[in-house]
């Protein structure tokens, strides 16, 4: 007996991939918390700018998810044999035309927070918005197909890490600080954990369809080590920030959260594979949310430096 077709709302909610949106929230929370600590998050406008950074990052991530669903579906990468959730286009739940329209609409909406940030904080945010939009689509769209060339990890690390954290901090007063760039390594590393786990799970199907992720290029062992190291980076960054960058000790709450979620990378290092990695994906998704909250809470407890 065939499984019942999910509702239209459920299909589109799944296509948005809400469990992964912590990759957008985490760096904005970290960047906003650094702005608070630096004493530049005071006015209502500055709070709106931080919110604008989150909305823009979130919309670009959703656009990337839609593009991934569309182009992987058209290429046959998201076949019925995939080990993860059924994708909208690949599972014939949404037509390519409908997904294309949704992608375009999302990109149009993403232009509004980019315009707001650019109008208040400088043209650099318009440039970041344009590059982010291009990267979101080029991640799987021809001719670039960044994910198919093993370049996805680099872009995910940069855009959900140092660029997002330092950009959120800079939106408040225009200052791109070393502290924000370094702290951004943590959110970028966790986002890579999420991506690399997905690629590790799907490596057999990806190889068959010409999607040469790092797990395909260098093998499962490389993918497992990559995830373990990135998780370790997330643990170490708050400690470094306290000892070297003089951030409040309470920021190490984020390191504690990284320890709590250590089983996510330990089980992978010990050989967990296949569909069982869906549990690890859920854990890394939750880690992104909780890590950002813990970092921000630690900054709030520590108060402002000015």
User: By three-state DSSP, how is residue 19 classified?
Assistant: helix
In a domain, 210, yes or no: no
Question: To which H or E segment does residue 289 belong?
Answer: helix 277-302
In a domain, 4, yes or no: no
In a domain, 213, yes or no: no
pLDDT digits (tens, 9 = 90+) for 30-53: 999 999 999 999 899 999 999 999
Q: What percent of the chain has pLDDT over 90?
A: 81
Instruction: Return d(Cα 40, Cα 22) in angstroms, integer.
Output: 24
In a domain, 240, yes or no: yes
- Least confident stretch, 127-131, 193-197, 206-210, 295-299: 206-210
| Tokens coding 85 | 């959730």
Predicted confidence band of residue 117 (pLDDT cuts 50, 70, 90) = very high
Domain count along the chain: 1
In a domain, 90, yes or no: yes
Predicted confidence band of residue 81 (pLDDT cuts 50, 70, 90) = low
Mean pLDDT of 3-7: 75
Q: Is 185 within 8 Å of 162 (Cβ atoms)?
A: yes
Q: Supply the range of the domain harboring residue 141.
A: 18-203+218-302
Q: Is 137 within 8 Å of 161 (Cβ atoms)?
A: no
């Amino acid at each position: 007996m065939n499984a019942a077709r999910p509702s239209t709302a459920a299909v589109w909610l799944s296509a948005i991939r809400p469990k992964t949106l912590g990759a957008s929230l985490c760096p904005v929370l970290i960047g906003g918390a650094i702005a608070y600590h630096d004493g530049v998050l005071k006015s209502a406008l500055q709070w709106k700018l931080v919110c604008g950074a989150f909305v823009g990052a979130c919309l670009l991530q959703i656009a990337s998810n839609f593009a991934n669903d569309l182009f992987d579906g058209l290429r046959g990468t998201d076949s019925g044999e995939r080990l993860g959730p059924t994708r909208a286009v690949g599972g014939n739940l949404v037509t390519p035309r409908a997904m294309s329209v949704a992608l375009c609409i999302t990109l149009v909406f993403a232009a509004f927070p980019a315009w707001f940030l650019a109008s208040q904080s400088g043209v650099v945010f318009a440039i970041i918005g344009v590059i982010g939009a291009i990267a979101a689509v080029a991640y799987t769209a021809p001719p670039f197909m960044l994910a198919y060339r093993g370049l996805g990890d680099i872009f995910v690390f940069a855009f959900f890490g140092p660029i997002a954290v330092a950009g959120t901090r800079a939106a408040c007063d225009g200052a791109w600080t070393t502290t924000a760039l370094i702290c951004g390594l943590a959110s970028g590393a966790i986002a890579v954990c999420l991506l690399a786990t997905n690629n590790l799970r799907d490596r057999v199907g990806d190889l068959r369809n010409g999607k040469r992720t790092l797990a395909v290029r260098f093998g499962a062992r490389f993918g497992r080590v990559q995830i373990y190291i990135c998780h370790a980076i997330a643990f170490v960054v708050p400690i470094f920030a306290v000892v070297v960058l003089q951030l409040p000790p309470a920021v190490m709450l984020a390191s504690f959260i990284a320890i709590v979620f250590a089983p996510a990378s330990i089980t992978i290092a010990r050989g967990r594979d296949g569909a069982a990695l869906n549990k690890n994906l859920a854990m890394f998704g939750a880690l992104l949310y909780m890590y950002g909250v813990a970092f921000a809470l630690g900054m709030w407890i520590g108060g402002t430096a000015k």
